Chain A
Amino acid sequence: AQTVTQSQPEMSVQEAETVTLSCTYDTSENNYYLFWYKQPPSRQMILVIRQEAYKQQNATENRFSVNFQKAAKSFSLKISDSQLGDTAMYFCAFIQVQGGSEKLVFGKGTKLTVNP
């Protein structure tokens, strides 16, 4: 079974600084996708960034970037120039396309607080 592990239950960072959230996953498959979702206090789940496993280039979305290490099964999220609005729960997620079905597996989440 696929699993996703986020080893940091909580983190904090000062506004304008950089923070990295860790994620590791376990799979025996070669083709899959990885995601980071953000859940602010409003509880809406918002897609932050997506990585295709067959692409070596790390995905980037504005201030958000990932460090994807396929051999190590690691998928960390870097947030640059942190803003107060980045305060949220961050979930790492994995999806493996198998036989046409798509089941998303989530980690337990990291609570990030950005301090003024």
Chain B
Amino acid sequence: DAGVIQSPRHEVTEMGQEVTLRCKPISGHDYLFWYRQTMMRGLELLIYFNNNVPIDDSGMPEDRFSAKMPNASFSTLKIQPSEPRDSAVYFCASSLGDIQYFGAGTRLSVL
């Protein structure tokens, strides 16, 4: 298996623009997680899905953030409008059981 695949690897955008991050989980995994990593706050869980259904979105910082999982092989994290404080590395992870496997992350820079 190719592992968890995230795109794009890097994203640079201007404040106010919409940003969409994409994730393809490992085939057969039933959980999908979105994390954000910053120097100040470390790794934070934003939202996670089980069998494509959002289970806990309490980590989503505000209404500008939304996530979807239309099917078992694809998820998106959208920020609209983006702000400079959203600059971070965003990770997607998937699991079947207790071990989470991470993608390579998307480095987002909002200017």
Which A residues lie within 8 Å of B33 (CB)?
A: 104
Contact with B along A18-59 (1 / 0, CB 8 A): 000000000000000101010000111111001000000000
Partner of A45 from B55, B91, B107 at Cβ < 8 Å: B91
A107 cross-chain contacts in B, Cβ below 8 A: 42
Give the B interface residue count (CB, 8 A). 21
Q: B89 contacts the other chain (Cβ, under 8 Å)? A: yes
Is residue A101 contacting chain B, with contact meaning CB distance below 8 A? yes
A102→B43 CA distance, assembly (Å): 16
A102 to B102, CA, bound (A): 15
Collect the chain A residues with CB atoms within 8 Å of residue B55's CB: 101
B42 and A95 within 8 A (CB)? no
Q: Which residues of B contact A103 (CB under 8 A)?
A: 45, 48, 56
A residues near B66, Cβ cutoff 8 Å: none
Q: A44-B105, A46-B102, A50-B98 are known contacts; what are 18 more A-B pairs with Cβ within 8 Å?
A: A35-B99, A37-B102, A43-B89, A44-B104, A45-B91, A45-B93, A45-B105, A47-B99, A47-B101, A50-B99, A91-B43, A95-B100, A100-B50, A101-B50, A101-B55, A102-B98, A103-B48, A104-B93
Interface residues of B (CB under 8 A from A): 31, 33, 42-43, 45, 48, 50, 55-56, 89, 91, 93, 95, 98-102, 104-105, 107
